[in-house]
Amino acid sequence: MSNAHDIDVPVLIVGAGGAGLTASMLLSDLGVETLTISSALTTSALPKAHVIQQRAMEVFRHAGVADDIYARSAPPQNLAATAWYAGLAGDDPDAGRRIAKQESWGAGGADPEWLIASPCLQANLPQIRLEPVLRAHAESKSPGSIRFGQELVELTQDDSGVTARIQDKSSGETYTVRAQYLLGCDGGRTVGRQVGVELEGMRDILYTASVHFTADLSRWATDPDVLIRWMWPPHVGLMSVLVPMGPERWGPDSEEWVYHHSYPGEDTRLWDDEKIIAGMRDALGIPDFAPEIHMITRWSFEALVAPQMRVGRVFLVGDAAHRHGPTGGLGLTTAIQDSRNIAWKLAAVLAGRAGDELLDTYEQERLPVARRNVARSTENAMHHLAIGGAMGLDPAATPEANWANLRRVWSAAPGDAEFRRRIRDMIAVQSQEFDEHNVEYGYRYESDAVVGDGTPAPRNVDEVRVYVPDTRPGSPVPHAWLTADDDSRLAIVDLIRPGEFILIADGADDRWNAAAADVQAALGVVIRAVRIGHANGDYLDHRLSWLRRRGVSADGAVLVRPDGVVAWRTDGADDPEQSLRDAVSAVLSLRVPVAS
What residue ranges do the domains of the chain occupy?
Answer: 7-75+120-199+303-366, 447-587
pTM metric for this prediction: 0.95
Query: What is the Cα–Cα distance from 341 to 120, expressed in whole angstroms?
Result: 19
Question: Residue 460: phi, psi to the nearest 5?
Answer: -125, 130
What is the Cα–Cα distance from 32 to 39, expressed in whole angstroms?
A: 23
Residue 202 Rama label (left phi>0; alpha psi -120 to 50; beta): beta
CA 576 to chain centre: 37
What do you get for the CA distance between the two ends of the chain, in Å? 46
pLDDT tens digits in sequence order for the chain, 596 residues long: 444 458 999 999 999 999 999 999 999 999 999 999 999 999 999 888 899 999 999 999 999 999 999 999 999 999 999 999 999 999 999 999 999 999 999 999 999 999 999 999 999 999 999 999 999 999 999 999 999 999 999 999 999 999 999 999 999 999 999 999 999 999 999 999 999 999 999 998 889 999 999 999 999 999 999 999 999 999 999 999 999 999 999 999 999 999 999 887 778 888 999 999 999 999 999 999 999 999 999 988 899 999 999 999 999 999 999 998 899 999 999 999 999 999 999 999 999 999 999 999 999 999 999 999 999 999 999 999 999 999 999 999 999 999 999 999 999 999 999 999 999 999 999 999 999 999 999 999 999 999 999 999 888 999 999 999 999 999 999 999 999 999 999 999 999 999 999 999 998 888 999 999 999 999 999 999 999 999 999 999 999 999 999 999 999 999 999 999 999 999 999 999 999 999 999 999 997 544 43
The Cβ of residue 551 has, within 10 Å, a number of other Cβ atoms equal to 20
- pLDDT for 594: 42
Phi, psi of 352 (to 5 degrees): 75, 15
The pLDDT score that the predictor gives to residue 592 is: 52
Give, for 346, the enclosing helix (H) or strand (E): helix 331-350
Please answer whether residues 165 and 176 qualify as being in contact, where contact means their C-beta atoms are separated by less than 8 angstroms: yes
Q: Among 3.10.180.10, 2.60.120.260, 3.40.50.11540, 3.50.50.60, name the CATH number for the domain at 7-75+120-199+303-366.
A: 3.50.50.60
Angle at alpha carbon of residue 131, lines to 129 and 137, rounded to 5°: 115
pLDDT at 593: 44
CATH code linked to domain 447-587: 3.40.30.120
For residues 384 and 205, the answer to whether their CB atoms sit within 8 Å is: no
What φ, ψ does residue 97 adopt, rounded to 5°? -65, 140
Longest dimension (CA), the chain: 79
